[in-house]
């Protein structure tokens, strides 16, 4: 019987590894739909503002806090469930929920209705990332994990790009309501494919050494405590949160800024800027993960944190140029250069956090990270921009959005400090481990 069980386990492991490319593709597509459904709102903000007669603060709430508070907080119980049950099934159900809610946003007649439907999107999307991070960590060993996370993070940049493209083009011809339905409904079909073809891997499948015997599942409080006890993890979470807040401010308000301050039409933003932007963002994400993997193999995992430090440092002047230069061609050129560096943080950041996480709490650590990122980054980033824009409007008029975005992007050096410090602490731990082994 033991031999039969072992054989069954070996077959399951072999199938999971054989299909890991397909699994990563399905996870990336799911993340793509997540960000497409989320980002479509950005290109539609000006149309929605006019149709429903909303303020920038209300638009910021819809893009940020209203969505993020449910998306982030529900990630914790979802992660708790994902550390116990089938992660594949959780992802499939969640994808169905948020896709349906996105399509229904097209039926909203006022701010309250749209707010409630955006809450529904946030509830659905809460079930995607924590189990996805956990599955990827089980399918790819530490030396390949940053690259796999970088591929997964393509869902962010490509989803945002296609959300802008499809949303703008469809809204131009048929209105913002039809655009919402157009991006929402196909996700339901993807959910069926996820349920049918994704393989649930054994926990710890790609980790070196024997797998520990099953232990009691840690509580949520223990998950927080174990993460807080890791100084490198603390710095990584703060760094990725601040970086995400700056990024969410841009993705949430960038299309509106281009329309208001640079005089570029919604259709031109969709047709000529969205796809090149997605391409440059994808190059950044893949290059960041690849460079981090190569340098980590040569010098240790701590280098991955410093890769982010350098890349994000290089992006800062181009972000400022985008916001402050009035010539549209130069501003958009600066924006594209900024994107080449901007998304390099995604793969290394999440891979390092999964590397530091205890095996039984990987989904929990991912959910805690996403809780902080989304409450502060996604929740406050776009919301603060909207609030600052309304606050600065008496002084700067229609240019108030420009200076609100500048204020947010100037927080970049704060994020860079935490990536530097995380690298220092990781290197110190690696040096101590090398001495102990000698």
DSSP designation for 265 = -
**CA 396, CA 405: separation in Å to the nearest integer?**
13
**Least confident interval from 13-27, 75-89, 375-389, 396-410:** 75-89
pLDDT at 2 over 50: no
Whether 121 shows a pLDDT value over 50: the answer reads yes
Contacts of 395 (CB under 8 A, 6+ apart): none
Average pLDDT of the residues in 98-124: 93
Specify the pTM: 0.75
For 171-193, how does the pLDDT look when each residue is reduced to its tens digit (9 = 90+)? 999 999 999 999 999 999 999 99
Residue 210 predicted with pLDDT over 60? no
| pLDDT single digits (tens) 218-236 | 666 777 888 888 999 999 9
- Which alpha helices (H) appear in 300-399, and where do they start and end? 302-324, 328-342, 346-356, 362-372, 379-396
The answer to whether residues 242 and 56 touch, using CB atoms and an 8 Å cutoff, is: no
Q: 431: which residues sit within 8 A by CB, 6+ positions away?
A: none
Structural domains present in the chain? 13-200+220-437 (1.20.1250.20)
Q: pLDDT digits over 58-100, tens only?
A: 988 888 888 888 887 887 788 778 878 889 999 999 999 999 9
56-63 and 65-73 are packed helices; what angle lies between their axes, rounded to 10 degrees?
A: 20
Cβ atoms of residues 372 and 129 within 8 Å: no
Write the pLDDT tens digit of every residue in 150-162: 889 888 778 888 9
Cβ-contact 302, 355 below 8 angstroms:
no
């Amino acid at each position: 019987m033991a031999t039969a069980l072992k054989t069954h386990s070996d077959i399951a492991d072999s199938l999971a590894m054989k299909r890991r490319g397909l699994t990563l593709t399905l996870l990336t597509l799911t993340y793509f739909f997540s960000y497409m459904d989320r980002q479509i709102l950005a290109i539609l903000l000006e149309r929605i503002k006019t149709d429903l007669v909303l303020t920038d603060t209300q638009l910021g709430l819809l893009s940020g806090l209203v969505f993020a508070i449910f998306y982030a907080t529900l990630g914790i119980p979802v992660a708790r469930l994902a550390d116990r049950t089938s992660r594949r099934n959780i992802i499939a159900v969640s994808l169905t929920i948020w896709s349906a809610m996105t399509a229904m946003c097209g039926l909203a007649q006022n701010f309250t209705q749209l707010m409630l439907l955006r809450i529904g999107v946030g509830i659905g999307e809460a079930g995607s990332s924590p189990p996805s991070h956990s599955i990827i960590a089980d399918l790819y060993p530490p030396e390949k994990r940053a690259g796999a996370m970088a591929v997964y993070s393509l869902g962010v940049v490509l989803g945002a790009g296609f959300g802008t493209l499809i949303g703008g083009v469809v809204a131009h011809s048929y209105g913002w309501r039809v655009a919402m339905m157009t991006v929402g409904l196909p996700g339901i079909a993807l959910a069926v494919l996820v349920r049918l073809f994704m393989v649930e891997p054994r926990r710890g499948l790609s980790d070196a050494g024997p797998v520990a015997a099953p232990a009691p599942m840690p509580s949520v409080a223990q998950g927080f405590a174990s993460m807080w006890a890791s100084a490198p993890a603390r710095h990584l979470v703060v760094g990725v949160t601040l970086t995400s807040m700056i990024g969410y401010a841009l993705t949430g308000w960038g299309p509106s800024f281009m329309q208001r301050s640079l005089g570029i039409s919604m259709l031109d933003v969709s047709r000529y800027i969205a796809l090149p932007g997605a391409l440059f963002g994808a190059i950044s994400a893949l290059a960041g993960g690849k460079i981090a993997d190569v340098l980590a193999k040569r010098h240790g995992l701590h280098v991955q944190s410093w890769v982010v430090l350098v890349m994000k440092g290089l992006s800062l002047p181009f972000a400022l140029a985008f916001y402050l230069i009035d010539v549209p061609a130069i501003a958009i050129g600066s924006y594209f250069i900024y994107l080449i560096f901007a998304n390099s943080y995604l793969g290394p950041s999440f891979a390092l956090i999964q590397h530091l996480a205890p095996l039984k709490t990987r989904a929990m650590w991912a959910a805690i990270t996403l809780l902080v990122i989304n409450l502060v980054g996604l929740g406050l980033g776009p919301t603060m921009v909207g609030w600052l824009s309304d606050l600065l409007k008496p002084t700067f008029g229609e240019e108030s959005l420009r200076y609100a975005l500048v204020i947010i992007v100037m927080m970049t050096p704060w994020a860079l400090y935490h990536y530097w410090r995380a690298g220092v602490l990781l290197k110190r731990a690696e040096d101590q481990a090398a001495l102990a082994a000698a």
